[in-house]
Structure 1
Amino acid sequence: TSSAYGGGARGLSDAFVAGFLWLDKLGLAAALHGSGGVELVARETLYESCYALISTDLVPNPDYWLSVLYKRLVGGRVLSLRLRGTQPTTRLYAHCLRNLTGDYTPGSVVVFGMNLSKEPAQVTLSGHLATSPLLKYLLQPPDGNL
């Protein structure tokens, strides 16, 4: 799966903006898997098309980095999120952290999402997450160019 049919669209499928669709597909597929839906999401092309993860110059496209973070951090267990007062342009997903070695505490949670609006979105965590240490990866387009 990718952002467009037939090799993608140059300047869109290989750009930051394509990551919104890719990240949303990963989050929705995981949520559906818990209800007997999608079990596997496979990216069709690694190299040599506009929607490939790596450009023909061997430079990783933005979707590559989303895939790396997702694979390294997101575990298989999907958690339920209760969203209050969020706009429909804010999408959030939560999972248990992938079993990793290192500085991560067992029981850690990964929350990821996207803001599809030009306006800033505020996310406030409550309960145990509000007082837990936070490691944040904030992905933004270079020079604001989607």
Structure 2
Amino acid sequence: MEYFEALDVGQTASFGAYDVTAAEITSFAGQYDPQPFHTDETAAAESMFGGLVASGWHTAAMTMRLLVDNYLADSGAMGALGVDDLRWPAPVRPGDTLSVTTEIVEKADFDDSRGRVATRVTTTTDEDVTVLSMVGQILWRRRE
């Protein structure tokens, strides 16, 4: 387990890959964000996107899956206070493969048992297009 004390500002990690499918895009959107450019390939082709695209919330969920599987699962992370500066600068499309890069940008005391770690998260496609950026405010276990 990696504790708060072992983390350093400037520390980075990169990992992936998450393969995005049209079926997953339409399924997620049908349940949570049923806008036509997320749920209907014909309507999406006529939209400003020119084709089916994932909901930004789906992009965030896929990013979270990569974070948990590759960064948070065996760590001292205890949940988050929220995210700052969430952006979706480009859409995710069927056939994209997503990867994530993290950078610790700030550490601060939170209480006796936890620290707060601000982590910049950037999600990119296999074409190196940034599709999500945010700063997670993560509570991290201190060494006892």
The TM-score by the shorter chain falls in which range?
under 0.3
Greater strand fraction, Structure 1 or Structure 2: 2
The one of the two structures with greater contact order (alpha-carbon pairs below 8 A, sep at least 6) is: 2
Greater C-alpha Rg: 2
Q: TM-score, normalization: structure 2?
A: 0.27
Q: TM-score, normalization: structure 1?
A: 0.27
